[in-house]
Amino acid sequence: MSFFYLIQTNGVVSKTYQIRQEKQRLEKLRAEKSTLEIEAARLQSPANLGEIAKTLGMEEAVKVVYLKEKGAVAIKK
Amino acid sequence: MRRFTQWRIQILFIITLFIGGIIIARLFSLQILKYNFYSASAQNQHQLYQKLFPKRGGIFIQDLKSKEYLPLATNKEFQQVYAVPKLILQEKREEIARQLSPLLDLDEEIILNRINKPEDPYEPLKHKVDEDLAQQIQSLKIKGIELVKETWRYYPAGSLASHLVGFVGLKDEMEIGQYGLEGYYEEKLKGAAGFLEGWKDILGYLIPAAAQKTQPAQDGSDLILTIDQNIQFKAEKELEEVIKKWSADEGTIIVMEPKSGAIRALANWPNFNPNEYFKVEDINVFLNSSIQKIYEPGSVFKPITMAAGLNQGLINPQTAYEDLGYVKIKNSIIRNAADRSYGVSTMTNVLENSINTGAVFVQQKMSHEAFRQYVEDFGFDRPTGIDLTGEIGGDISNLSENRDINFATASFGQGVAITPLELITALAAVANQGKVMRPFAVEKIIEPNGQEIITEPQIVKEVIYPKTAVQLTRMLISTIENSYDRKAQVKGYDVAGKTGTAQVPNLESGGYSDKTIHTFVGFAPAFDPKFIVLIKIDNPKGIRFASDSITPVFRRLAEYMFNYFEIPPK
């Protein structure tokens, strides 16, 4: 009995340390994910996109043209 | 010999008794008198009690185009640099202060004061240190200078929507949401702390097999805003430009969806960066002037008077009267702006030319009670109920005095003081078939268990008939098309709107000062409105009328939103 108890206790202790390590890894990955989300938000912000557009020499679309269809719009072949 | 032996036994007995007495006394002291102390000390060695801190909920702005939610307020891990002065050698202190000063942006003297405490085990040097700087400091390998991770509230978009979001400050060493959404939704965002009680091993870690009690921390809820990041950005950019152009003191732009009351943008100037709120010298900057400051709106109030007259059936858009340029009320004379007179004018002309006497003409057709009732029903006497901290209601106490002159001036927006949000909410009712909606900034709350609480649009009051709303909308379209407000017109679209150039009361000498406040409220497409916009600037220099200063801003914003929402011209 004592022998089995010893083996079980050893097993529990070993698994506990494994769980602890995995939890630490999980926390690290969570922190990394959060950092990346913040960075993605910064990159997608209109202020940043405006800067990039300016650097690439893009111009603001002043006028949008809407096409109006009369009658059927499917193409007949 | 025998007597000698007995004497020795007696001595030994006395010594044994004495030593035994000392041991018993000591045991009594340890086990009985100091029981609590040693019991607690033993528990401390083996027992673990840990407070579990919840994660504060995030605040997310929308991108209506890509249907994405982007963090406006979140939690970020930083490093804290601290010193363990008792580990720092005296001869090294000055050198360490010299090394760290430029890196931490702290005076050498401040650092030296903090590390010059030989018995001190902990002295914080700098919070919110980013990863790059932390690595630089770590690479110096200074004995007694340590780093530890800490989480702080972080606003990735900086000053964007700062008055909406507010910030998280410290009160009694505890984090607390202040101003804006952080303040209003504090209870939802902060979550609830938990605890962990159990036995710990030699390294201080919890022993899972041992008996333990756990109450997990409950994270805060996430807020998804009605605000669109692109419209918000555009509004802030336009506001900053127009304020700088006319050297105005401050200003506001609000964009709302009239049918629901959802706020799409809310911008005030000057604004602030919530990441560095402690650097703001004047705390008035934190006030959200859209909801926390009242002002006399001027002529932009005339549509309210007109709505009351139309709804009562006392006038119609073609009702005519003769404008002499002034109207006399007892001993007071009310004049039109720039002392102009327009002769015979219809009610539509009254709005087109912003004729003060015309507004008085309408007001005088109804009883004081009826006029006051409409002003109240449009919501000018109380906060709108928006989900932001610190909203105040308007001041229409002048209308309680029953003086004719007070009602006459109120008809064109003088003598009543209201918030910009009250004004846009009231005029949104005209765009929304007469229904006043409660404005709101949070579209949904996502609870930690994933449950979503969606904000339903709420009708506060049906203040005018739909027919009245259509009549007034036509008059406001005519105002944009036929008056000096033409600068707000967008080719191919029906735009309804009205300007107001209000004089600022002189609080010292009474009457009005030379300062003005320019306001414009407009909605489009007029008969199926997707947005209503309010623009307001305080004390612009070198320009007299709102029709010249801010109507071009509305036009640019409207053009932007027609493109953004892909609304084709008629």
Decide which of B174 and B446 is more confident: B446
CB B326 within 8 A of CB B336: yes
Of A21, A23, A10, A45, nearest to B61 by C-alpha is A45
Report domain extents, chain B. 52-154+186-220, 226-564
Provide the 8-state DSSP code for B295: B
Q: Half-sphere exposure of residue B247, counting CA atoms within 13 Å on the CB side?
A: 5
The residue in chain B having the minimum alpha-carbon distance to the alpha carbon of residue A33 is: B76
Contact: A34, B569; criterion CB under 8 Å: no
pLDDT in tens, A46-69: 888 888 999 999 987 777 888 877
Contact: A38, B76; criterion CB under 8 Å: yes
- Confidence class for position B546, pLDDT limits 50, 70, 90: confident
CATH for the stretch B226-564: 3.40.710.10
Of B346, B258, B358, B308, nearest to B465 by C-alpha is B308
The residue in chain A having the minimum alpha-carbon distance to the alpha carbon of residue B235 is: A46
Contact: B229, A12; criterion CB under 8 Å: no
Contact: B63, A44; criterion CB under 8 Å: yes
pLDDT in tens, B273-325: 999 998 999 999 999 999 999 999 999 999 999 999 999 999 999 999 999 99
Among B77, B230, B568, the residue with its CB nearest the CB of A46 is: B230
Of B260, B254, B258, B262, nearest to B236 by C-alpha is B254
% of chain B with per-residue pLDDT over 70? 96
Computed on alpha carbons and rounded to an integer, the radius of gyration of chain B in Å comes to 35
The residue in chain B having the minimum alpha-carbon distance to the alpha carbon of residue A34 is: B76
Tokens representing B439 are: 């404005």
In chain A, residues with a C-beta closer than 8 Å to the C-beta of B150 are none
Contacts of B344 (CB under 8 A, 6+ apart): B320, B321, B322, B323
Contact: A45, B230; criterion CB under 8 Å: no
State the average pLDDT for chain B: 91
- Confidence class for position B492, pLDDT limits 50, 70, 90: very high
Q: Which phi and psi angles does B94 have, rounded to 5°?
A: -65, -40
Would you tell me the crossing angle of helices B356-364 and B302-311 to the nearest 10 degrees? 30
Contact: A44, B568; criterion CB under 8 Å: no
Say what the pLDDT of residue A76 is.
59
Can you tell me the distance from the alpha carbon of B434 to that of B439, in angstroms, rounded to the nearest whole number? 15
Contact: A45, B157; criterion CB under 8 Å: yes
B130 lies within 8 A of chain A by CB: no
Among A37, A61, A66, the residue with its CB nearest the CB of B568 is: A66
Check pLDDT > 70 for residue B152: yes
Consecutive H or E run containing B543: none
In chain A, residues with a C-beta closer than 8 Å to the C-beta of B71 are 37-38, 41
pTM of the complete model beyond 0.90: no
Can you tell me the distance from the alpha carbon of B500 to that of B491, in angstroms, rounded to the nearest whole number? 23
Of B294, B293, B296, nearest to B409 by C-alpha is B296
Tokens representing B199 are: 């036995």
Say what the pLDDT of residue B352 is.
94
Q: Which amino acid is at B398?
A: N
CB B553 within 8 A of CB B242: yes
Tokens representing B282 are: 């004047």
ipTM of the complex: 0.76
Contact: B208, A35; criterion CB under 8 Å: no
Q: Which of B70, B152, B227, B557 to mutate to test the interface with A (most CBs of A within 10 A)?
A: B70
- Confidence class for position B173, pLDDT limits 50, 70, 90: low
Computed on alpha carbons and rounded to an integer, the radius of gyration of chain A in Å comes to 30
In chain A, residues with a C-beta closer than 8 Å to the C-beta of B230 are 46
In chain A, residues with a C-beta closer than 8 Å to the C-beta of B562 are 64
Q: Which of B78, B233, B240 to mutate to test the interface with A (most CBs of A within 10 A)?
A: B233
Among A20, A34, A46, the residue with its CB nearest the CB of B76 is: A34
What number is the average pLDDT over the span B314-337? 94
CA angle (A12, A14, A19) in 5-degree steps: 90
Three-class secondary structure assignment of B229-244: HHHHHHHHHHHHHHHH
Say what the pLDDT of residue A77 is.
57
Tell me which of B72-81, B170-179, B266-275 is least confident. B170-179
Second-level CATH architecture of B52-154+186-220: Alpha-Beta Complex (3.90)
Check pLDDT > 80 for residue B472: yes
Of B287, B260, B289, B271, nearest to B519 by C-alpha is B289
